[in-house]
Structure 1
Amino acid sequence: MKLEMICTGEEVLAGQIVDTNAAWLGNQLMDNGFEMHRRTTVGDRLTDLVDVFQERSTFADIILVNGGLGPTADDLSAQAMADAMGVELEENLAWRETLVLWAKERNVELNPKNLKQALLPKGAIVVDNPVGTACGFRVKLNRSWFFFTPGVPHEYKKMVIEQFIPFVKSQTNLQTKVEVTKLLSLGIGESDMAGRLEKLTWPEGITLGYRSYMPYLELKLIARDVSKEEQDKAILQATKVLGDGIVARNKGTLAAEIHELLTQREKTLTIAESLTGGEICSQLVAFSGSSHYLKHAIVAYCNEAKVALLDVSEQTILDQSEVSLACVAQMAAGAACTYSKVAESDFSIATSGIAGPAGGTVDNPVGTVVIAVKTGDQVVCQKIKFSAKRSRNHIRDLTTAIAFDMLRRAILGLSPIADYSYIERIESMVYSMKECRDLVTK
């Protein structure tokens, strides 16, 4: 079965907005065992819309059309579909009543622009929009079912999940079973990964896909009508070859993996950030339920804050600088103990470094980063060096990801320090919590 998508709107075509709806649909289809065969973007011009509807109607089985159903003059999807079919627009009385009720509940007066949203091609089947005023609809033209949805993301996504995916499933009993396993990697370049994987023999029906979104590289193992046993073999082969570079399965970020691990294991976390400026905390609190494990996060950007809030020794900073293993170890130890004078958090993480473009020294040039993870009675630290050619944001993003991976490994009982192919480690050190406290008193 051939599935396509037509995205409408001048703002999409001109690049004024990024079409996240299309990427989201592709993932939804894949997760449900379907593949998108083609995506077309067209502007808000009636003749262009009619042409593309007529053209694609002879190739695809189902086409989702996104956008162009609102009340304004440039919302032309319904009219274009009517013209492509050679029929008139007619008012759908049921949707008109929906609009009347909507206006009454909000004490507003309907006008012709609002009522335009009830005009559909003759014979169209209404697709309910439970969270908006623009209804969707579906019609058949040539070999294709056209399924129309608004472009507003929260309306569109609800309609896709509740109505479009079930409709697609209802149209075939012969769909190839497609399953996708996503392996998230860190510290492996795309050419390096491809070189390692593509010389191997894979089970029939398994294909590889790559998606790079810094600081991660995602490997997709796409299985078409492949047994669970063969899929497991392929996953095991990939993880063996890529080693420590694989940091999560079927998760989009390491923050998602950390959230799940801490929640499941009922462990607590505290955070001390300098270089990353709150990014570690921000990524975690994006998840509901993070308050169950996250006790606090301190952004100690200046040295005075490190001393006052985290009990870092002034002498350590004077002797070794804030970009040192001793400093970041004390930050992690201080964060673990700050929220309670009785109980320490199970884990803590700390970051410091020089993201640039200025601020580097001979000993610590731009791109030098120190990260610490407190686990049990130990604080494990490493000093790493990124290329100064990387941007400030890139250095901060990579630091956040590596801090998360150090924490992930600590939670799993592994050594927090891993080898990544393109990240240079300068040195590492393990301190006891007692040693960190003793440094403060010296």
Structure 2
Amino acid sequence: MEVAIVTVGDEVLAGDTVNTNANWLAGELADRGALVARVLTVPDDRAVIADAVREYADAFDAVICTGGIGGTPDDVTVEAVADALGRDLVVDRAQRERLEARAKAFRDANPELTDRYDFQLNLDAAATLPEGAQAITTDESWSPGCVLENVYVLPGIPSEMRAMFAVVADAFTGDATSEVVRTWTPEGALLDVIDGVRERFDVRVGSYPRGEDAPGRVKVTGTDPDVVAAAAAFVRERVDVAD
């Protein structure tokens, strides 16, 4: 299973926010045997998001979008996904009723806040989804995420994103497996080894530099455990193994 991750947000591109969501999702997907084929960060621009989603939805098994859903003017991810997949936007009545109940419960529980601030909640906007989309809801998030075809739309706030991913995590399963060879061989001396693996085995292979007191790593990933094991053995025979 090949998955693309699209992170939405001007704040990420500006360096104001660290993109922990993509890193966390990549690890979760790898643990489930899925291969992350692309990681892309795009601005809060409806057309740019739509272009990326359209391209990746056609190219890969699934696309996960994080960020850009909610009630602020720059939250345009849901609209962009509708554009990408050729769907109209509609108010999900069940979601609107859910949000209306949550808003009332919040006001009842926090009169000091609602008396002090004028909470302007556009329930129709928050409950608007692409036609045919399945809403994803959690207690942590106000606005729903959604699934439409092979595109999954999740919040940008890390705690909310992780909670919502847990709802759909079982959809992301694959047969990818990895082996890591720890080595003291300098990364610059691994070129022939890496090329040899690529020529002989149907796997992904990458190297990570060693630190002053820590070994480097060569990581081999593939869908056939026997081939991955053989590729890792090929590496071990040709490097200064640290294990």
TM range (shorter): 0.7 to 0.9
Shift of 1:240: 8.5
Cα shift readout 1:27-50 (whole Å, capped 9, x = no counterpart): 222222111222332211222223
Is 1:242 matched with 2:232?
A: no
Is 1:150 matched with 2:155?
A: yes
Please give the secondary structure, in 2, of the residue aligned with 1:7.
strand
The letter for the 2-side match of 1:116 is: A
What corresponds to 2:218 in structure 1? 219
What corresponds to 1:167 in structure 2? 171
In structure 2, the CA distance between the partners of 1:201 and 1:121, relative to structure 1 (3 Å rule), is: closer
Instruction: Determine if contact 1:79/1:121 at 8 Å carries over to the other structure.
Output: yes
Gaps (5+ residues) in structure 2? none
What corresponds to 2:148 in structure 1? 139
Distance in 1, Cα, partners of 2:192 & 2:58: 42
Matches for 1:97-112 after TM superposition, within 5 Å: 97-106=97-106, 107-108=109-110, 111-112=120-121
Shift of 1:52: 2.8
Instruction: Determine if contact 1:64/1:146 at 8 Å carries over to the other structure.
Output: yes
Percent sequence identity over matched residues? Answer: 25
Please give the secondary structure, in 2, of the residue aligned with 1:90.
strand
* Cα RMSD after superposing both structures: 3.3
Matches for 1:329-368 after TM superposition, within 5 Å: none
Distance in 2, Cα, partners of 1:104 & 1:213: 56
Instruction: Determine if contact 2:136/2:145 at 8 Å carries over to the other structure.
Output: yes
In structure 2, the CA distance between the partners of 1:219 and 1:114, relative to structure 1 (3 Å rule), is: farther
Is 1:127 matched with 2:130?
A: no
Shift of 1:68: 0.6
What corresponds to 1:73 in structure 2? 73
Please give the secondary structure, in 1, of the residue aligned with 2:59.
coil
Aligned length: 231
Is 1:16 matched with 2:16?
A: yes
What corresponds to 1:29 in structure 2? 29
Please give the secondary structure, in 1, of the residue aligned with 2:98.
helix
Distance in 1, Cα, partners of 2:19 & 2:201: 34
Shift of 1:152: 1.1
Gaps (5+ residues) in structure 1? 170-174, 247-442
In structure 2, the CA distance between the partners of 1:8 and 1:204, relative to structure 1 (3 Å rule), is: same
What corresponds to 1:46 in structure 2? 46
Cα shift readout 1:398-422 (whole Å, capped 9, x = no counterpart): xxxxxxxxxxxxxxxxxxxxxxxxx
TM-score, with normalisation over the residues of structure 2?
Answer: 0.77
Matches for 1:264-343 after TM superposition, within 5 Å: none
The letter for the 2-side match of 1:222 is: T
Instruction: Determine if contact 1:99/1:115 at 8 Å carries over to the other structure.
Output: no
Shift of 1:120: 1.0
What corresponds to 2:188 in structure 1? 191
Please give the secondary structure, in 2, of the residue aligned with 1:157.
helix
What corresponds to 1:58 in structure 2? 58
Shift of 1:67: 0.8
Please give the secondary structure, in 1, of the residue aligned with 2:240.
helix
Distance in 2, Cα, partners of 1:23 & 1:198: 24
Shift of 1:125: 0.6
Cα shift readout 1:199-232 (whole Å, capped 9, x = no counterpart): 877974454322348565332122321339x728
In structure 2, the CA distance between the partners of 1:149 and 1:233, relative to structure 1 (3 Å rule), is: closer
What corresponds to 1:179 in structure 2? 177
Shift of 1:10: 0.9
Shift of 1:195: 5.3
Distance in 2, Cα, partners of 1:213 & 1:95: 51
* Larger relative contact order (Cα-Cα within 8 Å, sequence gap ≥ 6): 2
Instruction: Determine if contact 1:197/1:238 at 8 Å carries over to the other structure.
Output: no
Distance in 2, Cα, partners of 1:103 & 1:63: 31
Distance in 2, Cα, partners of 1:222 & 1:190: 18
TM-score, with normalisation over the residues of structure 1?
Answer: 0.45
In structure 2, the CA distance between the partners of 1:150 and 1:116, relative to structure 1 (3 Å rule), is: same
What corresponds to 1:433 in structure 2? none
In structure 2, the CA distance between the partners of 1:223 and 1:92, relative to structure 1 (3 Å rule), is: same
Distance in 1, Cα, partners of 2:45 & 2:81: 12
